[in-house]
Amino acid sequence: MLLALPFPARAQPGKIFRIGFLDGSTAAGSAVLVNAFLQELGKLGWIQGKNFTIEYRFAERKPERLPELAAELVRLKVDLIVATGSPPTRAAKNATSSIPIVMAAVADPVGFGFVASLARPGGNVTGFSSMAFELSTKRLEILKDAVPKLARVGLLRVPAQTGLGALQLKELRPAAQYLKLKLEEIETEANPKSLEGAFQIAKQKRVQAIMTTANAGFFSERKRIVELATKYRLPSVYFQKEFVDEGGLMFYGVDYEDLYRKAAQYVDRILKGTNPADLPVQQAMRFEFIISLPAAKRIGFKVPYELLARANKVIQ
């Protein structure tokens, strides 16, 4: 019976494990998170080329490519698949029921049907929940507190929102009504030309602040989004701190680099013999609120003192 059990990967002297890495975005856009993952693996004794290799598959913001990319990884007989979000996890789960899958950051693993429960995931999937859709309303509240007499907020979202995008909208729309805000939803593709047009529409609609849904494509184009928010002098709050690293005004949310480091820890445990069904799905525990005063100065915005007092970090 033991020999028949799935998940045979177990650290063995001289064995080089093959890890599949499935991402819906681009290599450049996800580099900072991939680096956090690799650095943590290194701390745990994993050395590329010596005891593991990685097969990267990036869908280049084309989710329809994910099923075939997942199938490629299965054909390569990788020992484990790291799936970076909800669409990659779904593609990987549909492609294999035997290869262990570690979710780096999925908003609602139970709701999406990836695991039976957080405490006892069962099957071949485990990992980490980013709680992304639940935090969207908090960002809207922050904008309300930041901008005096705020009435209109521009929300950038990709067309045909499904999955995480739909969940975020389901939370944001009633939250906007409760806060007495007009939520101007602006559909845009995550590319420089479309984003420029989206910000022009935002100004035409006379929005006083802007935010985006949590989306891998927007993360990849974070530098351009920050540049446009500065150009149009719009206060903004973002879903990952890397936006602030690029010059954005505010960030509130999960420390995604921490989630990717924790994903590396689960990879380590599984490759050393732990069954993924025995590893509970963990929810994000580290939340940050960061404000950049240089970014505020560039758009002529005065951050209320009360908001500064709530921040974990204020960039001077």
List, for residues 266-303, the tens digit of each pLDDT value: 999 999 999 999 999 999 888 899 999 999 999 999 99
The whole model's pTM is what?
Answer: 0.82
Residue 163 has what pLDDT? Answer: 57
pLDDT at 3 over 60: no
As a whole number, the mean pLDDT across the chain is: 92
- What would the mean pLDDT of 26-36 be, rounded to a whole number? 93
User: Where do the domains of the chain lie?
Assistant: 17-130+256-286, 132-254+288-315
Reported confidence tier of residue 13, pLDDT bands at 50, 70, 90: low
CATH architecture group of domain 17-130+256-286: 3-Layer(aba) Sandwich (3.40)
pLDDT at 166 over 80: no
* pLDDT single digits (tens) 71-115: 999 999 999 999 998 899 999 999 999 999 999 999 889 988 999
**17-130+256-286 shares its CATH topology with 132-254+288-315:** yes
Q: What CATH number is given for 132-254+288-315 in this structure?
A: 3.40.50.2300
Per-residue HEC secondary structure of the chain comes to CCCCCCCCCCCCCCCCEEEEEEECCCCCCCHHHHHHHHHHHHHCCCCECCCEEEEEEECCCCHHHHHHHHHHHHHCCCCEEEECCHHHHHHHHHHCCCCCEEEEEECCCCCCCCCCCCCCCCCCEEEEECCHHHHHHHHHHHHHHHCCCCCEEEEEECCCCCCHHHHHHHHHHHHHHHCCCEEEEEECCCCHHHHHHHHHHHHHCCCCEEEECCCHHHHHCHHHHHHHHHHCCCCEEECCCHHHHCCCCEEEEECHHHHHHHHHHHHHHHHCCCCHHHCCCEECCCEEEEEEHHHHHHCCCCCCHHHHHHCCEEEC
